[in-house]
Amino acid sequence: MSAPTCPGWTFDEWFVVALARTIADREVVFHGFASPCAQVAMHVARRTHAPTSLLVEGATYAVDPDPAFIPPTGNDLALHRDAVYRMRFEEFFDAACRGAVDRMFLSGGQIDGYGNTNVTAVGPDPTRPKIKLGGGGGGCNISASIGALTLWTTRHRAGRTLVRDLDFLTDIGHVTPEGSRSALRYTGGGPQWLVTELGIFDYDVEGHARLRGRWPDVTESDVRDATGFELRTGLDPEVGDGVPVPPRPVADLLAPPSPAELAALRAIDTLGVRRLEFSPDDLARHFTHPASTACAC
């Protein structure tokens, strides 16, 4: 009798699992508006390796809800289900400013080499932008004070997202045109990870993004061709003074999803809202364990 065929997993599943793995147990974690990948990742983390993490929903400010599914919009009352508390807007910002929030997920229409992001306007003249984005919603303030940031984008390959210079600086990275975090007396740690559909970056001694790993179907040339800022690479684990030290190595983030992680993801995201962030080509990426590896899917 032949062995069963391993069903494997899709890239959007692997990507969300990698985001979930940036969360450490006992962390207080927050995501912003319109962030399905980060939202699903937070619930996957709590259902697997980070059971005592505390989740704050980005639109409803519900604390540790237990939704039956992730809805297409962050304002859905399904995200209030069994929450232990529902914070007021000002309560959350007070908590973030006093350092009581450990991690926030941030994305952007543009992300520069130091982890600054733009979710405001694209184009040389911000008063007459080519593209008007949704805006930061207070992200600038709390990005300066939250313990660590996980950045992500699913639009790296297009070549217009990871850029040398932002058209507008919305959220704070490690070094801004006005100076570094330490010079500006920001209390938060800044970006720790940048996860894209091409690879995973951390931040070096200068607070600059450094490519630490690629997905198995991606080459370094693919990453270099799509990255507008200087592509730094290397295996030196040293990070700069004030740069958050990752709680786990990049190899852990890139490891294939475990059966428990896939089960948790598929249970919470039955509607597949995470898939809204990906291009058709990325949704077509599918992976299986090597033939020599026993399948535990």
**pLDDT given for residue 241 in this prediction:** 52
Would you give the DSSP letter of residue 235?
-
Task: Indicate the pTM of the whole model.
Answer: 0.93
Residue ranges of domains in the chain: 9-287
Going from the C-alpha of 123 to that of each of 107, 131, 134, 159, 167, the distances in angstroms are: 18, 7, 14, 15, 6
- Tell me the torsion sign for CA atoms 66, 68, 70, 73: negative
**pLDDT given for residue 6 in this prediction:** 56
- The segments of the chain whose pLDDT lies below 50 read 1-5, 292, 296
- DSSP three-state, residue 192: strand
Closest CA to 237 of 192, 196, 195, 198: 192
**pLDDT given for residue 1 in this prediction:** 42
Would you give the DSSP letter of residue 206?
T
- DSSP three-state, residue 64: coil
**Topology of 9-287 in CATH?**
Glutaconate Coenzyme A-transferase (3.40.1080)
**pLDDT given for residue 182 in this prediction:** 92
**pLDDT given for residue 254 in this prediction:** 96
